[in-house]
Amino acid sequence: MNDQKQLANFVQHMPKVELHLHIEGTLEPEMLLTFAQRNDIALPYKDIESTRAAYQFNDLQSFLDVYYLGTLVLREERDFYELAQAYLQRCKRLGIMHTEIFFDPQTHLSHGVALEVVIGGIHSALKEAECEWGISSAMILCFERDRDAESTVSLLHEALRIGDIVGIGLDSAELGNPPRKFQEVFQRAKTLGLHRVAHAGEEGPPEYIWEALDVLDVERIDHGVRCLEDPRLVQRLLRERIPLTVCPFSNVELKVFPNLKSHNMGNLLDAGLQVTINSDDPAYFGGYLNENIISTVNCLERDFNDVVLLQKNAIEASFCSRDEKIGMLARLERYIASFKFVI
Ligand code: HPA
Ligand code: ZN
Write down the catalytic residue from 28, 100, 202, 291.
Answer: 202
Say if CB 124 and CB 41 are below 8 A apart: no
Q: Rounded to two decimals, what is the model's pTM?
A: 0.98
The helix-helix angle for 152-162 and 183-191 (nearest 10°) equals 30
Taking residues 257-271, what's their average pLDDT? 98
- On whether residue 113 sits in a domain, the answer given is yes
Q: Among candidates 226, 227, 171, 220, which has minimal Cα distance to 197? A: 220
Taking residues 161-173, what's their average pLDDT? 96
- On whether residue 42 sits in a domain, the answer given is no
Say if CB 55 and CB 287 are below 8 A apart: no
Taking residues 135-148, what's their average pLDDT? 98
Ligand 1 site, residue 22, Cβ cutoff 6 A: yes
Ligand 2 centroid–CA 12 distance in Å is 23
What are the start-end ranges of the H helices in 174-217?
183-191, 206-214
Say if CB 168 and CB 194 are below 8 A apart: yes
- On whether residue 44 sits in a domain, the answer given is no
- The yes-or-no verdict on residue 254 having pLDDT over 80 is yes
Instruction: Specify the pLDDT at position 342.
Output: 80
Ligand 1 site, residue 250, Cβ cutoff 6 A: yes
Which percentage of the chain shows pLDDT scores above 90? 97
Q: Among candidates 142, 153, 203, which has minimal Cα distance to 178? A: 203
Q: Among candidates 126, 129, 200, which has minimal Cα distance to 165? A: 126
The residue count for the chain: 343
Name the closest-CA residue to atom 2, ligand 1: 172
| pLDDT tier for residue 252 given thresholds of 50, 70 and 90 | very high
- The yes-or-no verdict on residue 211 having pLDDT over 90 is yes
Instruction: Specify the pLDDT at position 108.
Output: 98
- On whether residue 279 sits in a domain, the answer given is yes
Bridge partners (DSSP) listed for residue 244: 221, 275
| pLDDT tier for residue 1 given thresholds of 50, 70 and 90 | low
Q: Tell me the CATH number at 263.
A: 3.20.20.140
Which percentage of the chain shows pLDDT scores above 70? 99
CB within 8 Å of 11: residues ≥ 6 apart? 290, 293, 294, 297, 307
- The yes-or-no verdict on residue 308 having pLDDT over 70 is yes
CB within 8 Å of 277: residues ≥ 6 apart? 246, 247, 248, 265, 289, 292, 293, 296, 310, 314
- On whether residue 227 sits in a domain, the answer given is yes
| pLDDT tier for residue 24 given thresholds of 50, 70 and 90 | very high
How many Å apart are CA 58 and CA 333, to the nearest integer? 41
Instruction: Specify the pLDDT at position 341.
Output: 83
Within 13 A of 316's CA, how many CA atoms are on the CB side?
14
Instruction: Specify the pLDDT at position 190.
Output: 98
Instruction: Specify the pLDDT at position 305.
Output: 96
| Strand ranges inside 209-315, DSSP E | 220-223, 243-246, 274-277
- On whether residue 309 sits in a domain, the answer given is yes
Ligand 2 centroid–CA 334 distance in Å is 31
Nearest 10 degrees: CA dihedral of 98, 57, 27, 119?
70
- On whether residue 239 sits in a domain, the answer given is yes
Taking residues 297-326, what's their average pLDDT? 98
The one-character DSSP state at 172 is S
| pLDDT tens string 67-100 | 999 999 999 999 999 999 999 999 999 999 999 9
Name the closest-CA residue to atom 7, ligand 1: 280
- The yes-or-no verdict on residue 268 having pLDDT over 80 is yes
Domain count for the chain: 1
Using alpha carbons only, what angle is made at residue 99 by residues 150 and 341, rounded to the nearest 5 degrees? 150
Instruction: Specify the pLDDT at position 340.
Output: 87
Range of the domain at 300: 3-31+77-338
The one-character DSSP state at 30 is H
Instruction: For strands 16-22 and 165-171, give the pairing.
Output: unpaired
What are the start-end ranges of the H helices in 134-180?
152-162
- The yes-or-no verdict on residue 3 having pLDDT over 90 is no
Taking residues 211-234, what's their average pLDDT? 98
- On whether residue 59 sits in a domain, the answer given is no
- Whether 202 sits among the annotated catalytic residues: the reply is yes
Average pLDDT taken over every residue of the chain:
97
Q: Among candidates 343, 340, 336, 342, which has minimal Cα distance to 15? A: 336
